[in-house]
Amino acid sequence: MRLQGGSKHFFRSLRTRFLFHFLALTALSLLIFGSLFAYFIWRENRRLLDQARSELVEQAKEMADDLMTALSLSRRYPEASFLNLERLAQLLRLEGKLINALSLVVDREGTVMAPRPLAPRVPRRLDADLLAEAEAKAQETEIPRLGKVMVVSLPLGQQAQEGQGEYFNLVVIKATGELVASPASTLTRYLALAGLVALVVSVVLALYLSNYVTRPLHRLSLAAWDLAHGDLDRRVEVSGDDEIARLAEHFNYMAERIARSARLQKEFVANVSHEIRTPLTSIEGFSQALLDGVVEGEEDRKRYLEIILRESSRLKRVLSQLLSLSRIDAGAWVLHPAPLSPRAFLQGVAEKLRPRAEERGLEFSLELAEGLPEVETDADALEQVLTNLVDNAVKFTPPGGKVTLSADLIPAGDLRIQVRDTGKGIPPEDLERVFDRFFRVERSRSQDHGGSGLGLALCRELVTLLGGRVSAWSEPGRGSVFTVDLPLRPPSRG
């Protein structure tokens, strides 16, 4: 069990698995190559062997023709002694040497008649099954002291001179290993040596490649460990332009996002604590003053109660906005889209918000284009967005200024709603951050107006839920314009 567990742990390493699979692939490739090579060598040897057998039979036939011609001349001219036993032996040895084979003449029983004397390893008698009766006969067999041989027998049927019997067969014997001068064994040795060298080179190459591939992955693993344990400034070096380099880039991007998220979370906690602590401190202080009886006069008592009420409303608003953002972040905000007439809806919103503007001495106007189409959206969410935008415009526009709520249809087919004011405006460097949570352009002035820095952030999240876009334009000294572009139909959500 321990060995098995160690094996599993051993193969858990990416470097080890890479090395194992690389070597396995190399060995398999060498095996396939070796098998194919051996197969083609075998086929070539078979072809050459068949060819050599055919050539040996043809050579034996030519020898038999020469021998029969000489025997015929000897019978026709016996006094000339064309082919006595001595000359027959010389002829057989000469022609056998030419084809690197053993040439014999045997009688009907297989006894060797020529050449004489015979070498010690040559048998004096051949098996009768090896002899040919009427046609040439070729077969492979094993002869003692000669080993595996190819035997070609051809009928002669010629009478020997001087009553020595019958020259029955010409037998040509050649060792099977000498039929084909094949370099297969040498090639096989060279192939084995080359395979061994290739395997060694593959091991070295696999070690190098495994280190090359796993080294940056190991650095990434260490960096991920450090990041998970609080080192938010941990980054990895990006080198090259391959998949691992892109993985390193994505890791660095992820680390930056995590660091930014952690920083925003800290700022969020600090801001929430501040926004809640400030009204609570005021409520606690003025309540304690009332309880201690340090307030003299009904007018001061009323002023203290108004402060407590205002700070309670501010605290309620902050908590409500925080709860709304939390629901949106958790995906728990449920929209209820329904057909809506922009004209009637905006007229109703304007009637609710007009008194707030007039209380501050502002002119409030509603500008609606003709022929606005029906929109399918969540009326409550849209009203909350417009209320926040108009409230901001009213808060930061000095008396005598103007706030305008308008709506028209843009060429893209969306409904565009704008809130314009003639207030102080927003500095260009702060314009991109006005929708960030807890961001306030002028913190002291925002606190004077009860701003928490959550209203515009909530507007952006709600408009995004509705499938639209919200943007801001401002010029210091001239005012600001907040634009909401909404689709006529809500986006489909899977």
Q: Give me the CATH number covering residue 275.
A: 1.10.287.130
Same domain, 365 and 459: yes
**Residue at 27 is within a domain:** no
Q: Which residue has the higher pLDDT, 363 or 44?
A: 363
Lowest mean pLDDT segment, chosen from 78-87, 122-131, 244-253:
78-87
**Residue at 240 is within a domain:** yes
Q: Residue 320 above 90 pLDDT?
A: no
List the beta bridge partners of residue 37: none
**Six token digits for residue 445:** 């002035």
The residue type found at 115 is P
The per-residue pLDDT for 3 is: 42
Q: Which residue has the tokens 């991920």?
A: 224
Provide the CATH number for the domain around residue 161. Answer: 3.30.450.20
Q: Residue 445 above 90 pLDDT?
A: no
Share of the chain above pLDDT 90, in %: 20
Query: What is the mean predicted confidence (pLDDT) over 12-30?
Result: 75
**Residue at 406 is within a domain:** yes
Residue 5 pLDDT grade (very low, low, confident, very high; cuts 50, 70, 90): very low
Contact 458, 321 (CB under 8 A): yes
**440 Cβ neighbours under 8 A, 6+ residues apart:** 446, 447, 451, 453
Same domain, 144 and 286: no
Element (H, E) at 104: strand 102-106
| Domain end point (choices 276, 304, 332) | 332
Provide the CATH number for the domain around residue 403. Answer: 3.30.565.10
Q: Residue 8 above 60 pLDDT?
A: no
**450 Cβ neighbours under 8 A, 6+ residues apart:** 310, 313, 314, 317
Q: Which of 480, 361, 370, 494 is nearest to 426 (CA)?
A: 480
Residue 311 to residue 298: CA distance in whole angstroms = 20
**Residue at 260 is within a domain:** yes
Query: What is the mean predicted confidence (pLDDT) over 109-114?
Result: 86
Same domain, 348 and 482: yes
Same domain, 328 and 345: no
Q: Which of 383, 381, 392, 326 is nearest to 356 (CA)?
A: 392
Q: Which of 348, 385, 393 is nearest to 465 (CA)?
A: 385
Q: Residue 343 above 50 pLDDT?
A: yes
Q: Which residue has the higher pLDDT, 276 or 82?
A: 276
**Residue at 10 is within a domain:** no
Same domain, 362 and 475: yes
Q: Which of 486, 471, 401 is nearest to 431 (CA)?
A: 471
Share of the chain above pLDDT 70, in %: 88
Same domain, 328 and 349: no
Domains contained in the chain, number? 3
Q: Which region holds residue 238: left if phi is over 0, alpha if psi is between -120 and 50, else beta?
A: beta
The per-residue pLDDT for 433 is: 84
The per-residue pLDDT for 444 is: 44
Averaged confidence pLDDT in the chain? 82
**Residue at 307 is within a domain:** yes
| Domain end point (choices 332, 362, 387) | 332
Same domain, 363 and 446: yes
Three-state DSSP state, 236: coil
Same domain, 73 and 178: yes
**16 Cβ neighbours under 8 A, 6+ residues apart:** 10
Same domain, 328 and 343: no
Q: Which residue has the tokens 């701003």?
A: 451
Range of the domain at 51: 32-184
Residue 146 to residue 479: CA distance in whole angstroms = 117
**Residue at 25 is within a domain:** no
Same domain, 323 and 344: no
Same domain, 272 and 169: no
Rank 71-75, 213-217, 349-353 by mean pLDDT and report only the highest.
349-353
Query: What is the mean predicted confidence (pLDDT) over 464-484?
Result: 92
Same domain, 271 and 351: no
Q: Residue 71 above 80 pLDDT?
A: no
Q: What are the start-end ranges of the H helices in 341-411?
A: 342-359, 379-395
| Domain end point (choices 332, 353, 387) | 332
**Residue at 200 is within a domain:** no
Q: Residue 409 above 80 pLDDT?
A: yes
Residue 9 to residue 439: CA distance in whole angstroms = 52
Residue 482 pLDDT grade (very low, low, confident, very high; cuts 50, 70, 90): very high
